[in-house]
Chains A and B, each alone.
Chain A
Amino acid sequence: MILPVTVNFYENLDSQPAGRMNKLNITVAVTGLNNIDSPGPGVPVIRALRESDFFNVRIIGLAYENLEPGIYMPGIADKVYMIPYPSDGVEALLERLEYINSRERIDVLIPNFDSELYTFMKSDKRLGEMGIKTFLPELAQYEERHKANLSGFGKKYNVKVPGNFELFSHSDIQKIPSGFTFPLMVKGKFYDAYTAENKQQIAFFYNKIAAKWGLPVIIQEFVRGTEVNVVALGDGQGNTIGAVPMRKQYITDKGKAWGGVTLDDKNMLELTRRIISETKWRGGMELEIIKTASNELYLIEINPRIPAWVYLAVGAGQNLPEALVRLALGLDVEPFTSYKVGKMFIRYSYDLLVDIGQYELVSTKREN
């Protein structure tokens, strides 16, 4: 039987935090409780924080929809509040958070959806005034890594990226440069990616994506190879606090990993460290990378947040959510130096039973 192996990337070895007797009591608010077939990172982040040796956490779940499973899962959130969608604007969100904070005294807030990050970054100052700390990318970092800006990002930081082209209107489909050959990827600003084999399919996906995520819709060159991912945490000074590479072993029809395994790949870690060091990335991130047959790495996307598979990193020895909370609180954090290679995750579905009364509370009182 093969056992997971711990690999070290730095000379100074193991710096796992020792178990603490007196844990620090804190309240952390977390979004992304949609632990469905295309899961949000909220539940895995909460699991990671619950396993912290350093903190004793009270978890406030923030949900957008009344069926997000994390609302009902036992042992996940201590209390759940519904919050308005990011598209309703900063004011509506802050008003709700003020109410929630008046009852819960939130120390740290971890937003987990791409689409809400902008709103939270814009609210950073007001959140600070409420005493709520976050650890988010700077607005400029966030903008720079946008899918639509990926070519510029690649040039600036000398990273290989596939060519891309933005569609602002249906007629732009006819203007896609001839250098782009099929198949092509059609991507939404925040989510969704489809492979198109011809212009008709692009038109179809364009409508679908534009209706949901707005414009532009992004056309990206299709790079053949294996998709690999890295979850990482930057401290905002250019240091990589932690990074774990993973290969998806099974991908659902929604393009989400159903199983994955940690990899031993120094090139991927090197690329991650270089990106974090040059952008001075602040906060969690996920790099989506294509590894070609000739072992070249193409960066296809930077997600400016912790991915849903972060619990694999925790299991492999890097509790990145805990480190993120420590950074948010201004505590010193030593970079992780190792992780277990060959650690796997396998997602599964599980039917949770709840009574209609719980659903009623969430639907009518907007808290549970």
Chain B
Amino acid sequence: MEKLPFERPVINKLSAGMPGKFGMKTHISPVTHIDQVGVKELTGQYGSPLFVLSEKSLRQNFSEAKRAFETRYPKVQFAWSYKTNYLNAVCSVFHQEGAWAEVVSGFEYDKAIALGVEGKHIIFNGPDKSRDDLKKAVNNNSLIHIDHFDEMYTLTELAGESENKPKVAIRVNMDTGVYPVWDRFGFNYENGEAWDALNRIMMAGKLELVGLHAHIGTYMLSASAYGIAASKLAELAAQLEKKFGHVAGYIDVGGGFASKNTLKGAYYSGSDTAPGFDEYAEAIAAALVNSRIKPANMPLLILETGRALVDDAGYLLGTVIANKRLSDGRRATIIDAGVNILFTSFWYDHQVNPGQPVSEHTEETTIFGPLCMNIDVIKEAAVMPVLKKGDRVVISRVGAYNLTQWMQFITLRPKVVMIDPEGNVHLIRDSETLETLTSLEKLPGHLKQFRL
């Protein structure tokens, strides 16, 4: 007789409370495949934990965003936000789709150049650009978004040393009805500082003003705030037209579009509340079209959205190390993927699914990572099917920021693979080895020997 599949025996105490933390036990369906490639095969071949990126999703998200904006506005250009995920494979997918590069440091700038992005297709943002960085950017005709007056003066100096007239935009911060206002970056709109900066650039004549930029925040759940940002930038462009007869070639509304992750502290699921590309596009395009800018001078619209393009294309696969019962009877599940590689678990209530078929029965558990640190909590309150040691879990929507903010801490960082649209799996970043880390270290001679 064939043996029956085994599930760990479970007993759950029924809570007889009124509306509490856990609702009806919803059936959590397993995620056994990513783009038709088995989770079991992936971890079998590449180990666990493992980051998996879906090229198909990256391209689909991009074309979805592109369609949303291009159907509403005539001139649209995307620039891939390197800091969101600067793995070469990911950047290259977006560059193949036509996105420029948006970088915020000399390191990211060099990475884009090394990948083959032409200088004129690189937008250089951020408060930290060294004199050397700026010089390089000026020589390459890159688009430099000025963050503060000190940078403006450095650029003015450099303009005298280079054959190229620096191509610049200013970053504008503003009140869009969403708080906190990110007023530490760029020049303020409401107090007139932005208009002042534009006047100085136009009067001095050393810099070529090619655009206007704003980046109003991150994980913005309100599409209308972008409408306000776009109309304020458009108003500046209209004033430039009027006073100097100068046409700002582009308006860059930055990024910050939300993905479908659920923020901690939010009551509803992120998949229900996050606006789609269409809503953002509608707000922004309407603001530009209805602005005072002359129809013949309608600027190029640049978007630097990162998270919304890459988040749901990324998965983190992990394996159950152990099940425990805590002193108060609560269940604990320990997996091999910790907060050191899943930074976003600090602000998202990530979706965690089992990686193999499961029964209907669920239990309440807390999912911990493997670190010897009390803060290593992947999901505080999860209602999970019964998992046993060796079972796989799939954490969804992890493509943004984790692969740039992850830490090498206690353990080595794992492999990253990308599944191409034909279903072939490519290793795009190898796991670290002891050698990777020790090769950077220098041990002073007098410390080389010890006896215990």
Question: Across the interface, do B267 and A189 meet the contact criterion of CB distance under 8 Å?
Answer: yes
Query: Given the complex, which residues of A lie within 8 Å of B24, measured CB to CB?
Result: 64, 82-85, 96, 366
Question: Across the interface, do A90 and B19 meet the contact criterion of CB distance under 8 Å?
Answer: no
User: Does B14 make an interface contact (CB < 8 A)?
Assistant: yes
Given contacts A67-B18, A215-B265, contact A168 B179 (CB under 8 A): yes
Please choose the segment from A114-122, A254-262, A277-285, A325-333 that sits at the chain B interface, where 4 or more of its residues have CB less than 8 A away. A114-122
User: Does B26 make an interface contact (CB < 8 A)?
Assistant: yes
A126 to chain B minimum Cβ distance, whole angstroms, is 12
Given contacts A65-B18, A215-B265, A363-B14, contact A88 B179 (CB under 8 A): no
User: Does B6 make an interface contact (CB < 8 A)?
Assistant: no
Interface membership of chain A positions 213-246, coded 1 if the CB is closer than 8 angstroms to chain B and 0 otherwise = 1110000000000000000000000000000000
B17 to chain A minimum Cβ distance, whole angstroms, is 7
Interface membership of chain A positions 35-73, coded 1 if the CB is closer than 8 angstroms to chain B and 0 otherwise = 010000000000000000000000000001111100000
Question: Across the interface, do B23 and A214 meet the contact criterion of CB distance under 8 Å?
Answer: no
Question: Across the interface, do A66 and B269 meet the contact criterion of CB distance under 8 Å?
Answer: no
User: Does A34 make an interface contact (CB < 8 A)?
Assistant: yes
Contact partner, A214, options B16, B19, B20, B267, Cβ 8 Å = B267
Binding site for B on A (CB under 8 A): 34, 36, 64-68, 82-92, 96, 115, 118-119, 122, 168, 189-190, 210, 213-215, 363, 366
Contact partner, B267, options A36, A86, A92, A168, Cβ 8 Å = A86
User: Does B2 make an interface contact (CB < 8 A)?
Assistant: no
Query: Given the complex, which residues of B lie within 8 Å of A89, measured CB to CB?
Result: 268-269, 271-272
Question: Across the interface, do B265 and A67 meet the contact criterion of CB distance under 8 Å?
Answer: no
Question: CA A168 – CA B16 in complex, angstroms?
Answer: 33
Query: Given the complex, which residues of A lie within 8 Å of B19, measured CB to CB?
Result: 34, 64-65, 85
User: Does B114 make an interface contact (CB < 8 A)?
Assistant: no
Question: Across the interface, do B268 and A118 meet the contact criterion of CB distance under 8 Å?
Answer: yes
Name, among A67, A86, A87, the residue most crowded by chain B CB atoms within 10 Å (CB to CB).
Answer: A87
Question: CA A150 – CA B215 in complex, angstroms?
Answer: 28
Instruction: Using A34-B18, A82-B24 as known contacts, list a sample of 18 further A-B pairs with CB atoms less than 8 Å apart, ordered by residue number in A.
Output: A34-B19, A64-B19, A65-B20, A66-B14, A68-B18, A83-B24, A84-B26, A85-B24, A86-B267, A87-B23, A87-B268, A89-B269, A89-B272, A90-B269, A90-B272, A92-B26, A215-B265, A215-B266
Query: Given the complex, which residues of A lie within 8 Å of B265, measured CB to CB?
Result: 210, 214-215
Question: CA A36 – CA B17 in complex, angstroms?
Answer: 12
Query: Given the complex, which residues of B lie within 8 Å of A215, measured CB to CB?
Result: 265-266
30 A-B pairs within 8 Å (CB atoms) are namely A34-B19, A65-B17, A65-B18, A65-B19, A65-B20, A82-B24, A83-B24, A84-B23, A84-B24, A85-B19, A86-B267, A87-B267, A87-B268, A89-B271, A90-B269, A90-B271, A90-B272, A96-B24, A115-B267, A118-B268, A118-B272, A119-B272, A122-B272, A168-B180, A189-B267, A190-B267, A210-B265, A213-B267, A214-B266, A215-B265
